[in-house]
Amino acid sequence: MNILFHHRTRGRGAEGVHIRGVVKGLRQLNHHVYILSLPGAEPEMEEAKATVEKVAQAATKKSSFSILSDLTKHVPEFVFELFELAFNLIALIRLRKAVKEKDITLIYERYSLFMFSSVWWAKRHNLPIVLEINDSCQVQRVRALSFKKLAAKIEAWTFKNATGLVFISTRFKQVAEQAYGEIANSVVSPNAADLDKFVIDESSGCALRSKLGIEDKIVLGYVGAFVHWHGIDWFVDLVCHRLKQTPELVLLLVGDGVAFEGIKNKVIEAGVESQVILPGKVPHHQVSSYLSAMDLGILPDSNDYGSPMKLFEFMAMGKGMIAPDFSPIAEVVRDNVTSWLFPAGDEQACIDKVFAIVNDRKAHKAVGINARAYIESERQWQHNAAQLLSLVNLDISRDVNLNG
């Protein structure tokens, strides 16, 4: 099939990883996939600009999408939502052109709030369209919606009239069904990992451990943004009090963000600089080396809807994670088998779990092997691609039965 992947995101970070992953999975199944992005928001371009030099060059010239995105950060919420509504017209024009030029037989769209024109147009032209649901007006937001009733009406219509829906978690699907009743056929498809990119490299991991002077240590790692909602700040604050009692434990925390300086100061204040390594943000091509140097990972916090990308990436590298038992995590993790769970929201339970398993090197290894095997057998992007295509095949079969 000729498939059009349409999205309205920045195409960066976890969003970009997810889009590229699904596209790769579809291509591995021998489909032709084209991505329709706004200028400057091309996920595949982000990957091509992964080197520090190219990123620096790109930063000197902002795309039209980046400029518009920056502007919307400083406008009232209702103005931003009007922009989102207006985008339906832009999307419709671009979608029609792309479908005609590429002879598209399936549209796969990453759903965005207030977005309805693609489903309306596809339905009118008898073209299957599958929506990937990573957002909803029914979930709690940082900025409260001004036109929530309108957003809900649009969302209800869209969820009912799409060919199929791909939910990132069972909880997300339940929320939609509770709010809107009967919706289109759907599947639950959590995140995945690209095993071509997350290759266990023990030699580079050992070399990095040697460079950092932690060859014989137990390394608990974190890779990601240093932001409050990931819980990394409270985790470091609490764990620092007990680190000196466990000298064989070292934290390797990779990344940066608004909480970085506060975390750094806390480490210095606690006098545990030798046990907490903060390299900051590292070049993309070095991330696998840092992951290879870790024995296990920590995910202090998440939420009740999302599917954290880092969980799958750590497991792909053969590293179990200590993670909160939010339902999207609990439905993909077997406790003490592919990772370790603690009660979500219980900060002390998180810390206790760390020190309960930290010295069990045999368990670290066994859980890591199981985690990698799980990703290989169930959570590669090709599995996600097959799931979404099953919705199209189901729709075709239903039409044949109705007309037969």
Q: What is the pLDDT of residue 80?
A: 84
Give the residue carrying structure tokens 């990601």.
224
Rounded CA-CA distance 356/361 in Å is: 12
Report which residue type is found at 399.
Answer: D
Q: Name the least confident of 75-79, 220-224, 358-362.
A: 75-79
Tokens 């100061």 correspond to 265
- The better pLDDT of the pair 108, 399 is held by 108
Question: What is the pLDDT at residue 238?
Answer: 97
Beta carbons of 112 and 88 less than 8 angstroms apart: no
Cβ(22)–Cβ(384) below 8 Å: yes
Please report the pLDDT score of residue 57 as a whole number.
41
Q: What is the reported pLDDT for 53? A: 40
Predicted confidence at residue 262, as pLDDT, reads 96
Q: Identify which has the larger pLDDT, 331 or 53.
A: 331
DSSP annotation of 76 = -
pLDDT tens digits, residue range 280-316? 999 878 888 999 999 999 999 999 999 999 999 999 9
In the predicted model, what is the mean pLDDT of residues 122-130? 97
Residue 166: pLDDT above 90? yes
Q: How far is CA 359 from the centre of its chain?
A: 30
Question: Does residue 244 have a pLDDT over 80?
Answer: yes
- CATH architecture for the domain at 2-192+381-403: 3-Layer(aba) Sandwich (3.40)
Tell which phi-psi region holds residue 97, choosing left (phi > 0), alpha (psi between -120 and 50) or beta. Answer: alpha
CATH T-level fold of 202-378: Rossmann fold (3.40.50)
The pLDDT of residue 12 is 77
Give all strands of the β-sheet with 32-36 in edge-to-edge order: 32-36, 2-6, 106-110, 129-133, 164-167, 186-188
How would you list the strands of the sheet with 218-223, edge to edge? 276-280, 249-254, 218-223, 296-298, 321-324, 340-342
pTM of the predicted model as reported, rounded to 2 decimal places: 0.88
What does the alpha-carbon distance between residue 127 and residue 180 come to, in Å, rounded to a whole number?
23
Q: How far apart are CA 297 and CA 31, in angstroms?
A: 35
For residue 71 the two structure tokens come to: 């502007």
pLDDT band at residue 59 using 50, 70 and 90 as cut-offs: very low
| pLDDT at position 33 | 97
The domain locations on the chain are 2-192+381-403, 202-378
The reply to whether 202-378 shares the fold of 2-192+381-403 is yes
Give the closest residue to 220 by CA, choosing from 254, 270, 186.
254
- The pLDDT score that the predictor gives to residue 49 is 56
* Residue 181 confidence (pLDDT) above 70: yes
